[in-house]
Amino acid sequence: MSDKQQILLVDDDPNISHLVRLYLEKEGFGVTEAARGDTALEAFKRSAPALVLLDVMLPGIDGLQVLKEIRKTSKVPVIMLTARDETFDKVLGLELGADDYITKPFENKEMIARVKAVLRRAPEEKEKADETDDTLRFPELTVSLTRYEVTYEGHAVEMPPKELEVLYYLAAHPNMVFTREQLLERVWGFDFFGDSRTVDVHIKRLREKLPDCEKHGWEIHTVWRVGYKFEYKAA
């Protein structure tokens, strides 16, 4: 069994797949390919990849549906590939739990940089998994990064991994202000490659899932022209 990190590349364009594979293998990755959404799910189970590069437009089932299925059982990093530079695709992909997206045509060096940036976070998450209890507790809110669990007002709240990680990072530093760029770097693990709208989308979704939280003495607060903070007024 190879000790190379395995990448699952899902794209129905053979020319793109060939080039991306060459660049990934040059960087020392192992590559498994799939050209359809349905076969991609089979390949995912077989290859247990460290990361998935997933095209949106696929025969069989589309990439967003593939992402949904993956997220039912796995938190493996997923980078979406899309030929359409449309905000809808990007936002929907992020809401479904994608870690990043790249719009075609893309530079292969940028693609490699993004892959490495997302994978860089893996050792940190393994270390966190060894901790006995990382749970953050506030009135009517608990957040655990080790177990990827959020409870609000006594009920479990379903969140894609990145939403939970944004909430955890902000709540772990109550009343500290972070710019969008800082959150991109510290939660996603990259800086200038990120689109600041990525952060805004996740904050919007968090607010929808934690309604009326101000009455409990805390909230995700927008600091005008700066960024965001988890504002906590201890009783």
What is the per-residue pLDDT across 85-130, written as a single tens digit (0 to 9) for each?
666 566 777 778 888 888 888 888 889 988 988 888 655 555 554 5
Q: Which of 168, 173, 157 is nearest to 135 (CA)?
A: 168
Residues 70-85 have a mean pLDDT of 83
Band the pLDDT of 192: cuts 50, 70, 90: very low
Does residue 4 register a pLDDT over 70?
A: yes
For 140-176, write each residue's pLDDT tens digit.
999 998 888 999 999 999 988 888 999 999 999 999 9
The pLDDT of residue 233: 87
Least-confidence region, from 29-33, 119-123, 177-181: 119-123
Does residue 205 register a pLDDT over 50?
A: yes
Band the pLDDT of 211: cuts 50, 70, 90: very high
Does residue 208 register a pLDDT over 70?
A: yes
The residue among 77 and 92 whose pLDDT is bigger is 77
The pLDDT of residue 92: 74
| Cα dist from 206 to 76, 98, 105, 212, 227, whole Å | 21, 16, 31, 12, 15
Averaged confidence pLDDT in the chain: 86
Domain spans in the chain, listed from the N-terminal domain onward: 6-119, 131-232
The pLDDT of residue 94: 75
pTM given for the model: 0.65
The span from the CA of 221 to the CA of 203, in Å, is 9
**Class of the CATH-defined domain 6-119:** alpha beta
The pLDDT of residue 108: 87
| Percent above pLDDT 70 for the chain | 87
- CATH entry, 131-232, from 1.10.10.10, 1.10.510.10, 3.30.420.40, 2.60.120.560: 1.10.10.10
Phi/psi at 148 (5° precision): 50, 55
The span from the CA of 71 to the CA of 90, in Å, is 17
Band the pLDDT of 232: cuts 50, 70, 90: very high
Does residue 1 register a pLDDT over 50?
A: no
Q: Which residues is 151 bridged to in the sheet?
A: 142, 156
Bridge pairing between strands 78-82 and 100-103: parallel
